[in-house]
Amino acid sequence: MRRKRHRPIFVRNCDYCGTQLQTNEPGSDSYVITNEHKIFCRIHIPGQEPIKDCLEDYSRSKKNVRNEKLRQEKANEEKKEISKKEKEKIIKKFDDYLFELKQKQRRLRASK
């Protein structure tokens, strides 16, 4: 008697929330695989708003991350701008100091 072969079960975790998804479940539409081979849960009843759409949540969170990064970069840019001004101020002070020092030396020399 031939042994009945077990149908292998492929399980993957949702790339967003980590829920286990059986990827060879026949006719299952409770997940979606992107062209980046990422898998996300998607529970959707036709004609209704998706109950769960991790792809949507994932891309939204990714966008937020990108915005956050942009904001951070802009903040860094501003910080750099400030420190540049700060540096110029210090250099200017130093120049003034050198100028005064020279004046003092000249005065000292003149008084000798």
Please identify, using beta-carbon distances, which residue of 1 and 45 lies nearer to Zn ion: 45
Binding flags for Zn ion, 66-95, as an x/- string (CB under 5 A): ------------------------------
Binding flags for Zn ion, 26-65, as an x/- string (CB under 5 A): ---------------x------------x-----------
Contacts of 82 (CB under 8 A, 6+ apart): none
Please identify, using beta-carbon distances, which residue of 17 and 91 lies nearer to Zn ion: 17
SS3 state of residue 33:
strand
Tokens of 97: 């100091």
Binding flag, residue 17, Zn ion (CB under 5 A): yes
Give the dihedral sign, CA 34/48/9/40: positive
- Cα 102 to chain center, whole Å? 52
Binding site for Zn ion (CB under 5 A): 14, 16-17, 19, 41, 54
